Amino acid sequence: MIEEILPASVVSVETRTDIDDLFPEEAELVARAVEKRRREFATARWCARKALADLGHEAAPILRGPKNEPLWPDGIVGALTHCDGYRAAAVAPATAITGLGIDAEPHEELPAGTLKLIARPEEIPVLADLASQYPATHWDKVLFSAKESVYKAWYPLARRWLDFQDATLHFDPRARAFEAELHQPGLVVGGVELRRLSGRFAVGDGLVVTAVVIEG
């Protein structure tokens, strides 16, 4: 499903079956985690190793940085995601793209009270309008997932926190696309500060999946 919204330069692997296959260094990172968290962690990294193998990389530990971001081999850009019943990874050569974020969420309404925490005031009426036109889609969850993908693409490059309120999303439902208008400076690519990022989304099989790709 995730490959539908990624360019051909990105290799992705997804699964709905958990696989407990960790390197010792990875197992140390989740030694105190509950079983559910360990399964998510292990399976997402199994997906990543399969994707990396397609790019010619031998299997190796995928550790994590200070914000729990995955640490990729030199010359690789990538992202991981997992939610109930779904795990995925996406990777690409850094010569092909500069930044990448993916996210998957169950296709269901956000918990009560959550929308006001993640949506900017100008996004609320837009979501209501989208819901009236396309009632089969939970647009609040699409917004949440898209902002997660924006952050995952942003952080490895900017090395700064980006809050849900730091981006306004604009959706094109027919193209299954969105643009993120950034309200925080700090994302510089090729000497140019980016204030907008582009992404795509898909809804199906009980999931919302989103992706943001930053081309160099």
Q: What are 41-55's pLDDT values in tens digits?
A: 999 999 999 999 999
Which residue stretches of the chain are H helix? 24-29, 35-54, 115-118, 123-133, 139-158
Distance CA 178, CA 67 (A): 25
Write down the pLDDT at residue 151: 97
Q: What rounded mean pLDDT belongs to the chain?
A: 96
Write down the pLDDT at residue 156: 95
- Radius of gyration of the chain from Cα atoms? 17
- The DSSP symbol for 114 reads -
How many other C-beta atoms lie within 10 A of the C-beta of residue 148?
A: 21
pLDDT band at 145 (very low <50, low <70, confident <90, very high): very high
Write down the pLDDT at residue 67: 86
Distance CA 100, CA 51 (A): 14
Q: What are 159-176's pLDDT values in tens digits?
A: 999 999 999 999 999 999
* pTM of the predicted model as reported, rounded to 2 decimal places: 0.95
Integer angstrom CA distances of residue 168 from 24, 97, 120, 149, 183 = 41, 23, 7, 13, 8
Integer angstrom CA distances of residue 15 from 1, 70, 86, 191 = 10, 18, 6, 38
pLDDT band at 141 (very low <50, low <70, confident <90, very high): very high
**CATH numbers and ranges of domains, the chain:** 2-95 (3.90.470.20), 103-214 (3.90.470)
- The yes-or-no verdict on residue 143 having pLDDT over 80 is yes
Write down the pLDDT at residue 194: 94
- The yes-or-no verdict on residue 216 having pLDDT over 80 is no
Percent of the chain with pLDDT over 90: 95
Q: Which residues pair with 92 in a beta bridge?
A: 77
Q: What are 21-36's pLDDT values in tens digits?
A: 899 999 999 999 999 9
- The yes-or-no verdict on residue 71 having pLDDT over 90 is yes
